Structure 1
């Protein structure tokens, strides 16, 4: 009675090219998210200073008592 052969997975080392591609993609994704955040903060700051120059807002507290 012969035993059946069991297929064992072949363990290979890490693929350097695959890891470089994954690292580059993750780096670009994180960098683009950070850049979009930076642009959003710049837009808010620019809008604040534009309103300040137009006189629509003020940073001085009104003394109404």
Structure 2
């Protein structure tokens, strides 16, 4: 019997453009979550200082 030829997949190197675009996509995705987190923290801090200025909250514990 004659041995048949088997088609093998040839491995190629990484595509530089594809790697750059993938990295940019991941960076934008992660960066957007980080920015949303920063905006939420900034909103909490502003709300705290607004309440502090209005006198609704205090940072000193009253002694009894």
TM-score, normalised via structure 2 length: 0.91
1:8 aligns with 2:8: yes
How far 1:22 sits from its partner (Å)? 0.3
Unaligned runs of 5+ in 1: none
Give SS of 2:43's match.
helix
Match of 1:49 in 2: 49
1:53 and 1:7 map into 2 onto residues whose CA distance is 75
Q: State the number of aligned residues.
A: 64
| TM-score for the superposition, normalised by structure 1 | 0.90
The equivalent residue for 1:34 is 34
Q: Give 4+ residue runs of structure 1 displaced > 3 Å after superposition.
A: none
* Alpha-carbon offset, residue 54 of structure 1: 1.4
- Structure 2: unaligned runs, 5 residues or longer: none
Alignment RMSD, CA only?
Answer: 0.9
Q: Which residue of 1 aligns with 2:24?
A: 24
